[in-house]
């Protein structure tokens, strides 16, 4: 989703602005632009397509100056055109603004502005902000830096929706202002330059100290010092300077062709990292210091709600099986976008876990806030522990998966699964789970990284199957129990990066409609490990084969039934039942990846997708 990068203080801001935008490419975008103050004029360059196109434009028509702001746009209002790309100017052409978020009442505000004679150059909601702030500034006789902050306060109080914005003004020289509400923004504080960005990844190597802005904060930067104010005019809380996270640093592809493939192969390590120091063999339990709750308090919980979006929602669904079986506590899962408006009954004996890789997903953040308002205990499960969701939750658990650049989530999904398994263990051990059962869970979890590493050895087999079926026009994915959400996730991965329609469902639902889709051209991917429902899955496979549907089965080493029945068989290391979702996930990630490669798709930046969806 849109990315913002800005800086002030360097003579030439372009190298940082362009490099920063490049590092935010993973967020997903379709056009890019940059504005710098040169002399006392603002100069803008924009281009449709990748940051490389913008670099080319800037090479052809060079820019130099400070301060500068830049942006990658993921279209929400108006098509993908240069006119709609940011930065946008106000009516005077002296103020330039970039925005991440959505101004929900933009139509009304635009009509009012048109009534006052404003002419718009784009179809975006963002341009309304530029015009409103510019107008408020021009009406103030002072026309100085405090006047711009005042104009921002006046305007932003009337804005409904979400925003992170950055502004430069030709009349104010070395001055850069920024504000946020609902969309992330981080300040980089250097000795002779200051920076802003949507994600600290863009700041690595340029500064050591960062400040994560809070909702309603306004920042004023002059290259040497900074000042924080708020939209309401009340005093801002004192800024917390933090060292830039080391994890923001590992952003290369290494020996892999794509970030996604690299991240798939990192999973033995990321799983180990997620468990490090959290498993207690002596007490046969798991510990999360970030939950800030005693065992007594957690024992009082009567219900758990797991909420999230996309891939993370599928992790939540898998968590329902894992936690209920280990801890015998009712677990409910809800899409954050539904949960926030559902008016679900919530009480202090309910714990809501807002799950989000980025920690910035707008719907998940809203679900968290709604749960808090209604008195639930709220926890975040996030990869970015400095994200808004992490900061606004009462306690939380970090995924420790490192930065995930591939837009399609992979390693963060399995990290979410392992965190939920450990959460089930911990909650189980303060309820009914015996010491010996707890020990067994720990031993099994400790074997997981190695099982995943051995599953990755199927890479070439999977690549061959992917190439063979890459011209398929429709895939079906099915599984049972905790492998049912994995089927959903497998189908989502396939859709996201190959654009092939794919549907996931519980195997038993085959007869209730999906069977109508079975024919010689529609492959079914069946997750059939050796577990209690293996025979049931075999019956489903028989039903598919009876209708000549090709079957790609994922089973367990040594299985001969699947081999004799199915067109393709991928046999995985024998594993405890609750770990089979992890291994099946690896296979489905690789299957989607190799299919996308065979089709020549842009694996790391699939069309229309954004890594972090910060608008509703």
Segment near ligand G6P (CB under 6 A), from 71-79, 101-109, 125-133, 605-613?
605-613
Shorter beta-carbon distance to ligand G6P: residue 408 or 587 = 408
Q: Which residues contact 333 (CB under 8 A, 6 or more apart)?
A: 305, 306, 307, 313, 316, 317, 319, 320
Shorter beta-carbon distance to ligand G6P: residue 217 or 496 = 496
Segment near ligand G6P (CB under 6 A), from 13-21, 138-146, 451-459, 607-615?
607-615
- Shortest Å distance, C-beta 304 to ligand G6P: 18
Phi-psi category of residue 355: left, alpha or beta, with phi > 0 → left and psi -120 to 50 → alpha: beta
Alpha-carbon distance of 28 to 45, in angstroms, equals: 20
Asked if 609 is part of the footprint of ligand G6P (rule: CB under 6 A), the reply reads: yes
Phi-psi category of residue 35: left, alpha or beta, with phi > 0 → left and psi -120 to 50 → alpha: beta
Segment near ligand G6P (CB under 6 A), from 128-136, 325-333, 351-359, 543-551?
351-359
Alpha-carbon distance of 614 to 226, in angstroms, equals: 26
Task: Report cis status (omega within 30 of 0) of the bond before 87.
Answer: yes
Q: Using CB under 6 A, which residues numbered 77 to 106 contact ligand G6P?
A: none
Q: Is 516 exposed, middle or buried (0-12, 13-18, 19+ CB in 10 A)?
A: exposed
Shorter beta-carbon distance to ligand G6P: residue 70 or 358 = 358
**Binding residue count for ligand G6P, defined by CB under 6 A:** 18
Give the helix ranges, DSSP H, for 24-117: 51-60, 106-115
Cβ atoms 557, 573 nearer than 8 A: yes
- Shortest Å distance, C-beta 1 to ligand G6P: 8
Q: Using CB under 6 A, which residues numbered 507 to 536 contact ligand G6P?
A: none
Cβ atoms 396, 423 nearer than 8 A: no
Q: Using CB under 6 A, which residues numbered 296 to 325 contact ligand G6P?
A: 308-312
- Shortest Å distance, C-beta 369 to ligand G6P: 15
Q: Would you call 601 a catalytic residue per the annotation?
A: no
- Shortest Å distance, C-beta 614 to ligand G6P: 9
Alpha-carbon distance of 572 to 582, in angstroms, equals: 11
Asked if 611 is part of the footprint of ligand G6P (rule: CB under 6 A), the reply reads: yes
Q: Is the dihedral of CA 343, 330, 409, 607 positive or negative?
A: negative
Which helix (H) or strand (E) segment is 505 a member of? strand 502-506
Torsion of CA 171, 177, 183, 186, to 10 degrees: 140
Asked if 228 is part of the footprint of ligand G6P (rule: CB under 6 A), the reply reads: no
- Shortest Å distance, C-beta 63 to ligand G6P: 32
Burial 229-252 (b: 16+ CB within 10 A, else e): bbbeeeebeebeeeebbebbeeee
Asked if 478 is part of the footprint of ligand G6P (rule: CB under 6 A), the reply reads: no
Q: Using CB under 6 A, which residues numbered 175 to 214 contact ligand G6P?
A: none
Which helix (H) or strand (E) segment is 447 a member of? helix 435-456
Shorter beta-carbon distance to ligand G6P: residue 416 or 559 = 416
Shorter beta-carbon distance to ligand G6P: residue 57 or 384 = 384
Instruction: Estimate to the nearest angstrom the gap between the alpha carbon of 609 and the chain centroid.
Output: 11
- Shortest Å distance, C-beta 607 to ligand G6P: 12
- Shortest Å distance, C-beta 598 to ligand G6P: 21
Shorter beta-carbon distance to ligand G6P: residue 133 or 486 = 486
What is residue 536's DSSP assignment?
H
Task: State the residue number with the nearest CB to ligand G6P.
Answer: 310
Catalytic residue among 46, 214, 495, 611: 611
Alpha-carbon distance of 163 to 135, in angstroms, equals: 19
Shorter beta-carbon distance to ligand G6P: residue 568 or 604 = 604
Q: Is the dihedral of CA 581, 582, 587, 590 positive or negative?
A: positive
Shorter beta-carbon distance to ligand G6P: residue 310 or 506 = 310
Shorter beta-carbon distance to ligand G6P: residue 47 or 356 = 356
For 101-163, give the DSSP string: EEETTHHHHHHHHHHTT---SSS-SHHHHHHHHHHHHHHSTT-SHHHHHHHHHHHHTT--EEE
Interacting residue with ligand G6P among 122, 595, 612, 614 (CB under 6 A) = 612
Distances (CA, A) of 378 to 352, 391, 573: 5, 11, 37
Asked if 69 is part of the footprint of ligand G6P (rule: CB under 6 A), the reply reads: no
Catalytic residue among 2, 309, 333, 458: 2
- Shortest Å distance, C-beta 267 to ligand G6P: 16
- Shortest Å distance, C-beta 83 to ligand G6P: 27
Cβ atoms 506, 568 nearer than 8 A: no
Burial 455-478 (b: 16+ CB within 10 A, else e): bbebbeebbebbebbbebeebbbb
x/- track of binding to ligand G6P for residues 400-429 (CB under 6 A): -------xxx--------------------
Q: Would you call 382 a catalytic residue per the annotation?
A: no
- Shortest Å distance, C-beta 80 to ligand G6P: 18
Shorter beta-carbon distance to ligand G6P: residue 170 or 405 = 405
Q: Using CB under 6 A, which residues numbered 353 to 382 contact ligand G6P?
A: 356-358, 361, 364
List interacting residues with ligand G6P (CB under 6 A). 308-312, 356-358, 361, 364, 407-409, 609-613
Residues designated as active site: 2, 611
């Amino acid at each position: 989703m849109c990315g913002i990068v800005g800086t002030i203080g360097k003579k030439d801001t372009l190298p940082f602005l362009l490099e920063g935008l490049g590092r935010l490419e993973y967020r997903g975008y379709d056009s890019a632009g940059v504005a710098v103050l040169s002399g006392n004029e603002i100069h803008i360059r924009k281009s449709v397509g990748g940051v490389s196109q913008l670099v080319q434009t800037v090479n052809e028509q060079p820019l130099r100056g400070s301060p500068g702001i830049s942006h990658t746009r993921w279209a929400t209002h108006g098509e993908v055109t240069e006119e709609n790309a940011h930065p946008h100017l106000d009516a005077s052409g002296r103020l330039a603004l970039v925005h991440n978020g959505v101004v929900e009442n933009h139509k009304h505000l635009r009509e009012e502005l048109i009534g006052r004679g404003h002419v718009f150059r784009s179809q975006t909601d963002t341009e309304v902000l530029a015009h409103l702030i510019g107008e408020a500034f021009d009406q103030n006789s002072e026309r100085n830096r405090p006047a711009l902050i005042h104009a921002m306060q006046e305007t932003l109080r009337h804005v409904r929706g979400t925003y992170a914005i950055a502004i430069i003004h030709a009349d104010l020289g070395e001055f850069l202002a920024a504000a946020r509400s609902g969309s992330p923004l981080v300040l980089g504080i250097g000795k002779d330059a200051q920076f802003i960005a949507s994600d600290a990844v863009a700041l690595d190597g340029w500064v050591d100290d960062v400040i994560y802005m809070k909702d309603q904060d306004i920042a004023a930067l002059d290259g040497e010092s900074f000042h924080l104010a708020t939209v309401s005019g009340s005093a801002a809380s004192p800024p917390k300077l933090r060292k830039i996270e080391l994890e923001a640093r590992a952003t290369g592809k290494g020996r892999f062709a794509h970030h996604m493939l690299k991240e798939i192969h990192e999973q033995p390590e990321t799983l180990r990292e997620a468990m490090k120091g959290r498993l207690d063999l002596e007490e046969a339990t798991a510990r999360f210091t970030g939950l800030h709750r005693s065992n007594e308090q957690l024992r009082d919980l009567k219900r758990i709600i797991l909420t999230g979006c996309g891939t993370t929602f599928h992790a939540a669904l898998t968590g329902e099986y894992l936690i209920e079986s280990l801890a015998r506590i009712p677990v409910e899962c809800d899409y954050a976008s539904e949960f926030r408006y559902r008016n679900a009954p919530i009480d202090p004996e309910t714990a809501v876990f807002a799950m989000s890789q980025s920690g910035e997903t707008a719907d998940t953040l809203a679900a968290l806030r709604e749960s808090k308002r209604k008195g639930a205990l709220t926890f975040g499960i996030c990869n970015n522990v400095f994200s808004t969701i992490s900061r606004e939750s009462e306690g939380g658990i970090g995924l420790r998966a490192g930065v995930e650049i591939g837009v399609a989530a992979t390693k963060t999904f399995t990290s979410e699964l392992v965190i939920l398994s450990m959460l089930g263990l911990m909650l189980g051990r303060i309820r009914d789970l015996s010491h010996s059962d707890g020990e067994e869970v720990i031993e099994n979890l400790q074997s997981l990284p190695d099982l995943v590493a051995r599953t990755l050895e199927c890479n070439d087999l999977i690549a061959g199957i992917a190439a063979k079926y890459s011209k398929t026009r429709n895939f079906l994915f099915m599984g049972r129990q905790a492998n049912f959400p994995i089927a959903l996730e497998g189908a989502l991965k396939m859709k996201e990066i190959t654009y092939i329609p794919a549907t996931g469902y519980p195997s038993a639902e085959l007869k209730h409609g999906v069977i109508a889709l079975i024919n010689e051209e529609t492959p079914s991917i069946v997750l059939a490990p050796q577990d209690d429902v293996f025979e049931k899955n075999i019956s489903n496979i028989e039903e598919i084969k009876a209708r000549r549907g090709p079957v790609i089965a994922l089973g367990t080493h040594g299985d001969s039934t699947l081999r004799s029945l199915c067109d393709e068989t991928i046999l995985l290391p024998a594993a405890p039942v609750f770990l089979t979702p992890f291994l099946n996930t690896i296979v489905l990630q690789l299957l989607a990846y190799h299919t996308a490669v065979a089709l020549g798709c842009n694996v790391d930046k699939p069309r229309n997708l954004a890594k972090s969806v910060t608008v509703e």
